[in-house]
């Protein structure tokens, strides 16, 4: 089984729309749909913001469905200046940028597993940008703050959820993939850019995975 998560419902809507739904329900107040795309059994769910909500929702869904692959398909802000709205970033490493670990000499990071989907994306998805994604419990609204964060983390993008999702998956020995679409540049225009770009680009990660699931068995 594949667990497909989005922060907001429109981010997983392309998956639900293409799914032969066999079950719908609610867990922790969040609606989910379970069904089949191609030869893949999929559960899609959304509705969480920030690291804490991401962690407990991810853990609960892993407990309930025991997936073999977990996907986080949602939006992020660009740190790398080569990125533009609509670009897709595939996470290879994850860190929390707003958490201090006093007993650790280095930043606590989690590497993405080398699973079938990651290998496929690296070979065939030439438009994707592969690299580190960092997470914190806040939206960045200034270029000065963005540059301060970027100076201490060599990351492509930042969000509020990827590091927590990766940590939960890692702690459960769960294979996972994170695909993010750039929605804003983490500057003074963050809100304007998000409002404009979200309706256009929010479904891109899910649409990419739908096309892959239609033609490949990735539930392994």
Query: In this predicted structure, what is the pLDDT of residue 106?
Result: 56
Asked whether residue 155 is domain-assigned, the answer is: yes
Asked whether residue 164 is domain-assigned, the answer is: yes
**Among 11, 87, 159, 161, which one carries the catalytic annotation?**
11
Structural domain total, the chain: 1
Query: In this predicted structure, what is the pLDDT of residue 168?
Result: 97
Which residues span the domain enclosing 27?
2-215
Q: Which of 33, 32, 43, 38 is nearest to 1 (CA)?
A: 43
List for the chain the helix, strand, coil content (%; round to 5): 35, 30, 30
pLDDT in tens, the chain (220 residues): 999 999 999 999 999 999 999 999 999 999 999 999 999 999 999 999 999 999 999 999 999 999 999 999 999 999 999 999 999 999 999 999 988 766 555 568 899 999 999 999 999 998 999 999 999 998 999 999 999 999 888 899 999 999 999 999 999 999 999 999 999 999 999 999 999 999 999 999 999 999 999 999 987 6
Per the annotation, the verdict on 184 as an active-site residue is: yes
Asked whether residue 209 is domain-assigned, the answer is: yes
Q: Which of 117, 89, 112 is nearest to 180 (CA)?
A: 89
**Among 96, 184, 193, 219, which one carries the catalytic annotation?**
184
Asked whether residue 220 is domain-assigned, the answer is: no
Per the annotation, the verdict on 11 as an active-site residue is: yes
The reply to whether the predicted model has a pTM over 0.85 is: yes
**For residue 73, what is the domain's CATH number?**
3.40.50.1580
């Amino acid at each position: 089984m594949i667990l497909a998560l989005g922060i907001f419902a429109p981010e997983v809507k392309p998956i639900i729309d293409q799914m032969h739904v066999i079950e719908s329900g609610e867990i922790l107040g969040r609606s989910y749909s379970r069904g089949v795309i191609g030869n893949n059994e999929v559960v899609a769910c959304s509705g969480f913001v920030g690291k804490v909500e991401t962690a407990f929702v991810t853990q609960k869904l892993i407990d309930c469905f025991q997936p073999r692959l977990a996907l986080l398909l949602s939006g992020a802000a660009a740190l790398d200046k080569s990125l533009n709205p609509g670009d897709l970033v595939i996470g290879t490493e994850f860190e929390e940028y707003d958490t201090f670990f006093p007993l650790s000499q280095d930043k606590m990071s989690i590497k993405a597993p080398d699973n079938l989907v990651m290998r496929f994306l690296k070979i065939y998805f030439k438009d994707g940008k592969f690299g580190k994604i960092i997470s914190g419990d806040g939206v960045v609204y200034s270029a000065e703050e963005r540059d301060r964060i970027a100076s201490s983390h060599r990351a492509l993008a930042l969000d509020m959820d990827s590091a927590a999702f990766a940590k939960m998956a890692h702690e459960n020995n769960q294979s996972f993939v994170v695909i993010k679409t750039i929605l804003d540049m983490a500057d003074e225009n963050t809100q304007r850019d998000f409002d404009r770009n979200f309706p256009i680009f929010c479904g891109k990660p899910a649409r990419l995975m739908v096309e892959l699931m239609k033609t490949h068995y990735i539930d392994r």
